[in-house]
Amino acid sequence: MTNSTEQDRVLIFDTTLRDGEQSPGATMTHEDKLEIAALLDEMGVDIIEAGFPIASEGDFLAVSEIAKNAKNAVICGLARSAFGDIDRAAEALKHAPRWRIHTFISTSPLHMKYKLQMEPEQVIEAIAASVSHARNLTDDVQWSPEDGTRTEPDFLCRAVETAIKAGATTINIPDTVGYTAPKESARIIAMLKERVPGIDDVVISTHCHNDLGMAVANALAAVEAGARQIECTINGLGERAGNAALEEVVMAMKVRNDILPYRTGIDTTKIMRASRMVSTATGFPVQYNKAVVGKNAFAHESGIHQDGMLKHAGTYEIMRPEDVGLTESNLVMGKHSGRAALRDKLRQLGYEVGDNQLKDIFVRFKELADRKKEVYDDDIIALVGATADGSADKLELVSLKVICGTGGPAEATLEMEVDGKEAIATEHGDGPVDATFKAVRAIYPNNARLQLYQVHAVTEGTDAQATVSVRLEEDGFIATGQSADTDTVVASARAYINALNRLALRQQKSRPGAEGSAA
């Protein structure tokens, strides 16, 4: 319940691990989900939607584990209106100190007719039954009318009233297909506040998709109209064009607090770390001109802008880089730096790594420092993303030699360890990367389909590291591998092998009787 003394407090409901992961190709491993959830909890997210427990055994186990590890945040699980969904969510969530069931059903004419094939009266009955059932299991129940912004106003009011009477404590209005605009978003919230009995006793939430590029604007308009919870994701991840971006709504309210007089509990200095972590886990790079967390968000190339910045940063920067946890990229590490200095630098950048991972990062760092004149913070961050957690891998690159040019097909000679045994293969292909991947498959035959191959430079110059992302799919399992190296082909080989290792691990954990499961 929201009282008058808390009207300026907006709850942040993060659904990166549920709606964000539904973005095609953004599947995360079990370990990725636990790590991201821990950081979201640490940075002050109020509610973490950890997954859709009925969707798969992996989702159930991830939600359950996140619930057990929660410290401050409310842990939420999504459920359709079916009792089986709701019971499964409760089972996964029950170990959390505080937990919420989020149940939903479609309410727009289009969805009711073609998706549900239900009459409006049947939908109303389902709302009452599902919310009541969830409320018997927990006192924290959120209900959503899917496709709410395309629902007829009278029916939306009736559906919301039904959910409140059945025991819902949060009413979330989803703009499921990103159809609405700011004025309309605000008008829907205002209408509910005016017409629905009991609406003042619950929290009103907004969930906006970005199909027309207005998700953040729509979310903030809803807040101005009375919503006090925003559903959002790190980097705006999500289905189709994504969701309202957490970093954007939070920083908008912080920077423009004069016209958006609301506060959140988010520690904004952890935003960059969260952005990088999600990008690494999904293999989705953040676009350079992305608001708040993009590489160019605090970069100034125009001479006029540079002149203004030298005179006063406020001329062209409305927020400080350090407000979002961004450190300046300086040459502070070199070939003579030791392990303790590297660990300290990693802590400055927001990374706490175990001894095994530090050892791996340090070896890669020394190799990089020998080959690269200037080692920047971004280079070190890339190394973090390119190293595993220190566990033993099934496959490991030993050496790679490539011959390529204009004279004919490329040739790759690859030496690799498979379960500790070395093997070598030479293959030809349409370019060095194609030849290298063929050599990997010659040593380790597999039917994995390459869904994504992506390269981007970490810093400037011809000696810049390339970060390569590779996403593979086999038998319904999806895994993303990443690596960074000044040699793009070497980075490609390591990323491909990394993805194969993750794929093998996920397949192993999915087998009956295996301890744990893929998420």
Question: Any known ligand binding at 19?
Answer: yes
The angle that helices 83-93 and 57-69 make with each other, rounded to 10 degrees, is 40
Query: Which residue's entry shows tokens 């300290």?
Result: 344
- The answer to whether the beta carbons of residues 484 and 383 sit under 8 Å apart is yes
- The answer to whether the beta carbons of residues 483 and 494 sit under 8 Å apart is yes
Q: Tell me the residue length of the chain.
A: 519
Residue 343 neighbours by CB under 8 Å, 6+ apart: 353, 358
- The answer to whether the beta carbons of residues 252 and 216 sit under 8 Å apart is yes
Residue 252 neighbours by CB under 8 Å, 6+ apart: 216, 220, 260
- How far apart are the C-alpha atoms of 378 and 372, rounded to whole Å? 13
- DSSP helix/strand/coil, 98: coil
Question: Any known ligand binding at 209?
Answer: yes
| DSSP 8-state secondary structure symbol assigned to residue 328 | P
| DSSP 8-state secondary structure symbol assigned to residue 405 | S
| DSSP 8-state secondary structure symbol assigned to residue 321 | G
At 397, which helix (H) or strand (E)?
strand 395-403
- The answer to whether the beta carbons of residues 510 and 517 sit under 8 Å apart is yes
> In the sheet that 449-457 helps form, which strands lie side by side, from edge to edge?
449-457, 466-474, 477-485
Question: Any known ligand binding at 87?
Answer: no
Question: Any known ligand binding at 243?
Answer: yes
The long-range contacts involving 121-124, CB below 8 angstroms and separated by at least 24 positions, are: 123/159, 124/158, 124/159, 124/162
Structure tokens at 169: 């404590």
331 phi, psi to nearest 5 deg:
-80, 95
281 phi, psi to nearest 5 deg:
-65, -35
- How far apart are the C-alpha atoms of 155 and 29, rounded to whole Å? 40
Phi/psi-derived region of residue 491, left when phi > 0, alpha when psi is between -120 and 50, beta in every other case: alpha
For residue 197, CA distances in Å to 120, 143, 204, 503 come to 20, 16, 13, 51
User: Which of 275, 280, 308 lies closest to 294 in space, CA to CA?
Assistant: 275
Phi/psi-derived region of residue 117, left when phi > 0, alpha when psi is between -120 and 50, beta in every other case: left
Q: Which residues are annotated as a binding site?
A: 19, 207, 209, 243
Q: Which residues are annotated as a binding site for Mn(2+)?
A: 19, 207, 209, 243
